[in-house]
Structure 1
């Protein structure tokens, strides 16, 4: 819940530079898929990060497992690239009109025009029901609009198409919190962390829910 151009690459590089404590200097990026696949196994973290960017900007959904693997990279710098790279990969439909609608719906959502955004993402879903991110964006705006059960249903559709979508998995947890179903929320947050162990906010949610449930158990005895 919760790019193909040089600008997308620049955004990724800037984001990583802002969040990494000491980002390594970047070598020349891969010039082909063969080079990118080889660089994913390179001893140099910067080479691995460049490979992730190449795959995120030019790859397909079939390449997602390559980036999921890097979510457990020894370098936090590379792990951050892998997470952002997956979002890029998921958000690319391969259809210019669908991508245009996704951008419009996102703008509407960010402007607080939730009903307009729901209508736009519903159009995406009608045109491309196989595109998981269309369902995920609608799940997000439904959540923001307070339509929690509808959002939950859309998260289910996301996970049918992309079972390792950690944004949707953690989104299910957030919905269960809103519904005061804390045991289910904890289960889903733990599942999200199993898929992507770098989600600090999810770790915080888990600790808070564990404390809440333990306090309830003490009061019940």
Structure 2
């Protein structure tokens, strides 16, 4: 992590790492998943950004070096827009480590990029079943519903993401768009 939130306090909170700066301020950031999730919901945007980075770092580790290697290869393939290859690699990840939520989420992302929205929604649901706090999967599922013209469902997903991480401005904008679109046509694109 590269960012720290500056806090005026003498003692660090339990579960936080701290260090003294040359100005005598205590630099704090969350060290547990629970603390990071709590920080997302707080008013400190800088701390929320640090917490988000920490969560992504935690969520991208399965605990199995072979799975993590396949996962990294999938991420690399996805970044190079080798989507079919990435989908195969993430499918191997979820087969080998079905409880690894981020494997499902990355496959959902690839399937969204491939415009396989139904399959992506199913993978987002698998992600959220394993990690109900996965704001990325909730938002991604909303994007899939938007692409399918299912605006009510999209709005539900975006609200869920914002309940977990209220600082996601793009998700807030997507929610406004979904609500606007759903108000005029029974919530569906005809």
Shift of 1:67: 1.1
Q: Which has the higher helix share?
A: 1
Q: What CA distance in whole angstroms lies between the structure 2 residues aligned with 1:201 and 1:93?
A: 28
Residues 106 and 114 from structure 1, CA distance in 2 versus in 1: closer, same or farther, beyond 3 angstroms?
A: same
Secondary structure (helix, strand or coil) at the match of 1:47 reads strand
- The secondary structure found in structure 1 opposite 2:15 is helix
Question: Offset of 1:95 from its aligned partner?
Answer: 1.6
Aligned twin of 1:47: 27
**Equivalent in 78, 89, 93 of residue 124 of structure 1:** 93
2:110 aligned with 1:110: no
Q: Who is 1:5 aligned against?
A: none
Cα deviation, 1:31-83, whole Å, max 9, x if unaligned, reads: xxx9861558xxx996322xx2xx3xxxxxxx422210111233211111111
Distance in 2 between residues matched to 1:171 and 1:197, nearest whole Å? 15
Structure with the greater relative contact order (CA < 8 A, sep ≥ 6): 1 or 2? 1
Judged with a 3 Å threshold, the aligned counterparts in structure 2 of structure 1 residues 35 and 68 are, in CA distance, closer, same or farther, namely closer
Structure 1: segments with no counterpart, 5+ residues: 1-11, 18-22, 26-33, 56-62
The equivalent residue for 1:9 is: none
| CA displacement at 1:211 relative to structure 2 | 2.6
Query: Given the alignment, which residue of 27, 37, 41 partners 2:15?
Result: 37
Report what 2:21 is aligned to.
none
Note the residue ranges of structure 2 that are not aligned, 5 or more in a row.
19-23
Task: Tell me whether 1:90 sits opposite 2:59 in the alignment.
Answer: yes
Structure with more strand by fraction: 2
Q: Could you tell me how far 1:149 is from its partner in structure 2?
A: 0.6
Shift of 1:127: 1.0
Deviations 1:75-134 (A, max 9, x none): 211111111111111111112211111111011011111110011111111111111111
Distance 1:46-1:101 versus aligned 2 partners, 3 A rule: farther
Q: Is the Cα contact below 8 Å between 2:151 and 2:179 reproduced in 1?
A: no
SS in 2 for 1:156: helix
Deviation of residue 205 (structure 1)?
0.8
Matches within 5 A, 1:146-157: 146-157=115-126
Give the CA RMSD over aligned residues.
2.5
Structure 1 outlier segments of 4+, above 6 Å: none
Q: Matches of 1:45 and 1:183 in 2, distance apart?
A: 46
Structure 2 length as normaliser, TM-score?
0.84
User: Normalising to structure 1: TM-score of the pair?
Assistant: 0.73
Change (3 A) 1:207 1:126: same
Cα distance in structure 1, aligned partners of 2:6 and 2:65? 35
